[in-house]
Structure 1
Amino acid sequence: MNKNKRELLAPPLSNKIPKMLPGRVKRRLFLGGLIIGMSAVTFWGGEFFLRQNPITLADIANQKKPSVLPPGQARLNLVLILDGLRPDSINPQNTPNIYRLRQQGVNYLNGHAVFPTVTRVNSAAIATGYYPGKNGIVSNSMYVPQVNPTKSFSTGEYPELLKLDQVTNGKLIFVKSLGEHLQENGMKLAVVSSGSTGSALLLNPRSISKNVGVLINGYFDPAKLVAFPPEVNRAILTRFGAAPANKDTNNDGRLNEAVDWSEKVLLDYVIPELKPDVVFNWLTEPDSTQHELGAGSPEAINVIRNDDRNIGLILDQLKKLGLYDRTNIFVISDHGFSVHTYTVNLTQELINAGLKLSKDSDDVVLASSGQAVLLHIKDRNPRQIEKIVKFLQKQDWAGVLFTAAYRPQNSQLGDSFAQQNKQNHLKPEGWVGGTFSLELIHEFNQERGADIILTFPWTSQKNAFGVEGTDFTETTSGTTGPLTGNGSGHGSMSPWNVRNTFIAWGVDFKQGVTIDTPVSNVDITPTILALKGINSNENFDGRVLKEGLKAGIHPIDIKVQTKVFTTTTRGYKASIQVSEVENQRYIDKSWREH
């Protein structure tokens, strides 16, 4: 579990990514007894300039707003989302088509998955342009008492999400989605997914309840229901039949068939006949294979090759349809991957410590994303929150912890944003000593947000196939202890999970450019709306990626600040690194120092 500082501050995935700033630019300040180490540096005109004071809300409000970009020329904006594809998996041998798009278009070296770095969180972020704290999808599993008063539920299956929508009077998500923005402007979104039905729905969350756009997934009710609206469902079943089984129990590449079915529907029906303006195309591999066998395994390479083959077919079809020169293509992933070396039965650990009554008790409810766990404390009891945090800080298997910026009152999280507006700055530390704030990482949500978020230790050691990144994970069965084998996952703030694939190619994007400005999945919706010439008047969390657009600005004109915050309490020490661009805050990584 010991990690040296040099390893922690190393560039995450490529020697092309700028290294962390040298120690001489670091400064220490004391905020209410919490030690916060900050590296606040702006890259401007090719040189580094030190900014010693934290950015305030006034700074953000007074920043020069970018001029309105002209609408893009593309007829089609196609977003290819490859579940779990690490950027270091892309090479000329295994992914010649993706590699070519990266070489010819814009290669964003500093891509970010949204934390928790899991599928449904990132699906919602991609579809809305907002982080979990605002869009309401805060974890892969969530605790919403109206759905189940004593347990969390998985967001992986769409019936659970429809139930959430029903019991909350249409609040599956709290904000407007890209599909709705497009429909209001006479345009159409189509989602084609071979992933889970839950992740598919979250890419177009009003497709069922409000008949927005098109939603296609072969597994809503196999052989009966594969798409919304009904006429699209009938057409697909008539022409393409039922989707093949999407369970690959033998790891023999059977999920390739699920991917192939979805891609055929996209190529032969969706693009040429439905003529959508925007497509979200979700390829379920390599996620499934990497979970079982690890990133870099021969089986993982096989399914990645199949994804790339399908992308080649897409490019060929665009040429046949005369769309090749009128299309923008994004190639992104929802998260990275790291091998599991240790497992923690957090429920049992809390029971053993006298901090939870029983496995199914509602005094503490866990909502797990594997490598990150949300803890919901009954009535948001501050004394119980403090007890649990102090217990976790004493455990070697615990990583970085997060609580709200202000102490809960009357069973409610502290009035965070009112307090911060009053004090004119973002409070990075949580209200419990030795924690960072939920607000800092975009996870503060009064209705669905956790009282505590726990992450686990990670390293940059290699797995059996030479792929860097290890992590601990939570389990609901078994015992706490070391793991062997190649089982892998994601969810944490390890750079190996945060750093995602992010490529943009097409008529509206610059050619042959590599950019290291931070970008994120939350930037997709604002960028597409700008390309479609839609002024939504939304105050998105994401931003328009104007530095990559032909009609945009030079990357050197983007001001970036990188900060490291450090907190200590009673022998516990943790740090978090964030990068700020305009009014956007990207979470780079966090770590505990033993």
Structure 2
Amino acid sequence: MKNPWKLAFLAPPFLLPVAAQAQTQPHNVLLFVADGLRPGMVTPQTAPTMYALEHQGVRFDNTHSMFPTFTTANASAMATGHKLGDTGDFSNTIDAGFQVPGAGKSLTPFLESDPVLGDVDEHFEGDYMNQETVMRAARLAGMSTATIGKLGPALIFDHTSANAETQSVGTTIVVDDSTGTLDKTGKKIGIPLTPEMQQLMTAAGIPLTATPRGANAKAGTFNTPGTLVANGAQQTYFVDVSTKVVLPLFKQRGKPFMMVFWSRDPDGTQHNQGDSLNTLTPGIDGPTSLAAIANADHDLSALLAALKAQGLDKTTDVIITSDHGFSTISKQSKTSFAATQSYGDVVPHFLPVGFVALDIAHGLDMPLLDPDAKYAPVPAGGHPSHGDGLIGGSMDQPKVVVAANGGSDLVYLPDGDPSLAKKVVGILSHEDYVSGLFVSAKLGKIPGTLPISAIDLQGSAVTPVPSIVVNFRTWSTGCVTPLTCGVENADTGLQQGQGMHGSFSRADTSTIGGATGPDFKTGFVDKAPTSNADIGKTMAYILGLHVPDTGKLVGRVITEAFTGSKTPHWTKGWEVSTTDAEGHKTVVVTQTVGTERYFDAAGYPGRTLGLNAGK
């Protein structure tokens, strides 16, 4: 009989945790992601379970999201241990380079969708990230694997699982918003449940179709408030699946396991909350957002209790993180052409969704098409439906593609025209909502900008690489802890006063961070810089997996968090561009451990919250 753990121990002994080396098999890993939770909001009152875990085990005190600070981008980093220049998941919405069927044939798909992820995988030879994920490696090593929670990021951890080589290596359990749901033609949208899971869920009285968000999904309109309830019902469903079915199943199997629980809250509620319609205060710090934080904390508590009830707590390492921070949306600008126009669904003089596409199209005097509305021309007095836009050229050969995301946008120049790049940069640098521009080195050096390689966005990615990354202006409303009341201009259909992320503000790049379990220290505060890419490498480390790397933009194993290990040395630094015609220069502030770079904040001095050039 072959040893089922043979693949798990291909890594040389020095790569394994001290505690794991003494085990006959690796410890288990449970990763809990509280989407969009800011570290300053984890207190004994708001999130007692997370607070206790961070203070009883390891608290990561110098955390970093990947920039652009979006969900699928950071899920790709956690899943693979690679930065975005390697994974090619540059933001929630990208230029895919082809018309994506699952996104209504849009060139700019929103990646938080199982069908869309399937389409982009198929287009890029079965793996759009071109990277082995830790969970896939664990599955192929014979371990039990499950990923549960928010649609999109949950599947990313083993997005090629539907094409598993053989059933003999097992199947990753995937349960998300789309589980059991059908499209208008009756076709299943989500990843199918295995017969075993169907049987166990039915026996436990759990429906085979995921509970919808209900009222929590209501974002309101420009003149009506959004939701006033947290995402309780849906997340209770995911917790029930996890605690009543998956963990007991893993206990019964008696094999090491890797499990991810991706909590949509507080992110989903902070986006849609109706506590602050068109006002910057309380913004995302109102009662509805606080209820969402409590909801996520309750879910973690239930998972920890289930581990203990199953007798798995002594053999399971639990890591908690968030994919990014959060800020309150501002829709105001004094320079934008788009803000001077009148729209039927926008507060007068506020920025509409798609303002970047509108301003670039106006500045270039080129027509604008909406890729999310069957490529219809955007008329005068109109705006792109989702913010994305194709500018100039034709539907099949646009001159400029804008992928709107929120606190930052991606701009693609399919022809790679350096002169056009300079024109677009000139248009953007004039706008008061911009704070920093990053440009592909292939387009040459442009005053006021830094190359995208300066922020690790140039690597081995197989998806189209952005030509220009646009960071938006951020500031604070003036609370005692500024990073808990950050504000950002955001290219979104949501309203001023609701929530967004994606910028290079420290309010968006900082995340929660904690760990507990047999491999981790107790009562330890880790002051060294860490990132979501490091989490991917650390999970592989715990599980004893050797995961092959494509590309060199990798995270590090957070060895200092393990018993008997020392904290590494790190340095701080910054990079500054030349000055452009508007008097702007782009600055990025970094920390470095060995060759590993971490990015605190970036943008134009005076326009990015938390930016300090070290002077």
Does residue 489 of structure 2 align to residue 535 of structure 1?
Answer: no
Alignment: residue pair count: 497
Aligned residue in 2 for 1:454: 470
Contact 1:225 1:233 in 2 (8 A): no
Aligned residue in 1 for 2:272: 292
Contact 1:289 1:299 in 2 (8 A): yes
Deviation sequence 1:40-79 (CA, Å, 0-9, x none): xxxxxxxxxxxxxxxxxxxxxxxxx987644625632110
Deviation sequence 1:194-216 (CA, Å, 0-9, x none): x12x2221122112222752211
Contact 1:91 1:99 in 2 (8 A): yes
Aligned residue in 2 for 1:244: 211
Query: Which of 440-449 and 215-224 deviates more?
Result: 215-224
Relative to its length, the structure with more strand (as a share) is 1
Q: 1:572 aligns with which of 579, 584, 595?
A: 584
How has the CA–CA distance of structure 1 residues 236 and 301 changed in structure 2, closer, same or farther, with 3 Å as cutoff? farther
Q: 1:385 aligns with which of 403, 421, 438?
A: 421
Offset at residue 144 of structure 1 (A): 1.7
Contact 2:68 2:502 in 1 (8 A): yes
Distance 1:297 1:208 in 2: 41
Aligned residue in 1 for 2:84: 132
Does residue 508 of structure 2 align to residue 549 of structure 1?
Answer: no
SS at 2:455 equivalent: coil
Deviation sequence 1:147-196 (CA, Å, 0-9, x none): 35973111011111111122222132211111221123222321011x12
Distance 1:550 1:85 in 2: 27
Distance 2:270 2:57 in 1: 27
Give the TM-score of the pair, scaled to structure 2.
0.76
SS at 2:427 equivalent: helix
Distance 1:75 1:210 in 2: 24
Give the TM-score of the pair, scaled to structure 1.
0.79
Deviation sequence 1:334-382 (CA, Å, 0-9, x none): 1110111235511111121125432344221111221111101131111
How has the CA–CA distance of structure 1 residues 549 and 87 changed in structure 2, closer, same or farther, with 3 Å as cutoff? same
How has the CA–CA distance of structure 1 residues 233 and 219 changed in structure 2, closer, same or farther, with 3 Å as cutoff? farther
Query: Which of 445-454 and 151-160 deviates more?
Result: 445-454
Pairs within 5 Å for 1:66-465:
69-70=17-18, 72=20, 75-148=27-100, 151-193=107-149, 195-196=150-151, 198-210=152-164, 212-222=171-181, 227-235=191-199, 238=202, 239=204, 240-241=206-207, 242-247=209-214, 248=216, 249=218, 251-253=227-229, 255-275=231-251, 277-293=257-273, 294-342=283-331, 344=351, 345-354=355-364, 356-360=366-370, 361=390, 362-407=398-443, 431-444=445-458, 445=461, 447-462=463-478
Contact 1:116 1:369 in 2 (8 A): no
Contact 2:15 2:544 in 1 (8 A): no
Aligned residue in 2 for 1:495: 506
SS at 1:400 equivalent: strand
- For residue 523 of structure 1, what is the amino acid of its counterpart? D
Contact 1:577 1:587 in 2 (8 A): yes
- % identical aligned pairs: 25
How has the CA–CA distance of structure 1 residues 236 and 497 changed in structure 2, closer, same or farther, with 3 Å as cutoff? farther
Aligned residue in 1 for 2:517: 506
Distance 1:176 1:537 in 2: 7
How has the CA–CA distance of structure 1 residues 319 and 503 changed in structure 2, closer, same or farther, with 3 Å as cutoff? same
Distance 2:189 2:98 in 1: 27
Contact 1:146 1:168 in 2 (8 A): no
- For residue 488 of structure 1, what is the amino acid of its counterpart? G
Offset at residue 98 of structure 1 (A): 1.0
Distance 1:153 1:272 in 2: 37
Q: Which residues of structure 1 form unaligned runs of 5+? A: 1-64, 408-429, 478-482
Contact 1:121 1:138 in 2 (8 A): yes
Contact 1:172 1:205 in 2 (8 A): no
Offset at residue 493 of structure 1 (A): 0.6
How has the CA–CA distance of structure 1 residues 159 and 536 changed in structure 2, closer, same or farther, with 3 Å as cutoff? closer
How has the CA–CA distance of structure 1 residues 537 and 475 changed in structure 2, closer, same or farther, with 3 Å as cutoff? closer
Query: Which of 135-144 and 312-321 deviates more?
Result: 312-321
Distance 2:211 2:124 in 1: 34
How has the CA–CA distance of structure 1 residues 150 and 199 changed in structure 2, closer, same or farther, with 3 Å as cutoff? closer
- For residue 200 of structure 1, what is the amino acid of its counterpart? A
Distance 1:472 1:518 in 2: 27
